[in-house]
Structure 1
Amino acid sequence: MKIAAQATAELLDNGAGHVRLELVPFFDEVRSVPRPKATLTWAGKPHVQQILRALARSEVPLTHEGLSTLSPCRPVAHVRDLLMHTGVLPHRDRHLLLFERRLPEWLDTIEDVEHCQLLNRFATRHLHPGRP
């Protein structure tokens, strides 16, 4: 278990030898899992390491919007779920987040400009009624 905690601490190092303060609840959860070998396998994947290091070093904002700039999508979604589960990020619907992430590229495939604008307005207002 100590090896998993040490490896996770290294990934979440803020650049000054400490786990980034905002990520401590996430760190505590990850290092206390009942199967540390699975954690080591997961955390050993290069794309997971890149995501965690970017968050730990504040290269990417520790927000839903910040996470949405990262890829690949699946590991980001898993990290996001863990961050929400540990209270580091506020809970948001994961399907809605995925839709928001994919909406711009989907709209880019629509050739009719008016149709595209209509769909964009509908999606934006329907998903976020309080936004202009």
Structure 2
Amino acid sequence: MIKAALPTMKSSRKDRGPASIAFIPDGDVIDCVLSHIQPAFDHPELQGKNPLDPPRDQKAIKQERQWQRAISSGQIQKLVDRDHGIWYRICTMVMEELASLILDVKNLIVEMLQAAKSPNML
């Protein structure tokens, strides 16, 4: 009785087939179907509808538009100058991390050289 209450869907998935097939290293097989021909859109209430793009962050959209306007109008230097503080902090953090790694490597090399010079090497 429940089956009679559900709307019937014509399944044309067999004719469409996957757009591509992905083989995952763990043994899974994934059929990739284009979003506009997903079998879910065969449902009578969804026919003629398009899948929606996921919502985007409004702040990111605004910043992206600012950069696009600055690039197209040739005023990119103003944005670079404004964001200079952020870039400076990022570069400083990266340089400090690299400096500590270089110091660690230097100390390791010094230890290895001292160990090679010691007379009790086996």
TM-score (ref. length: structure 1): 0.29
Which structure exhibits the higher relative contact order, with contacts defined as CA atoms closer than 8 Å and separated by 6 or more residues?
Answer: 1
Higher strand share: 2
Structure having the higher Rg: 2
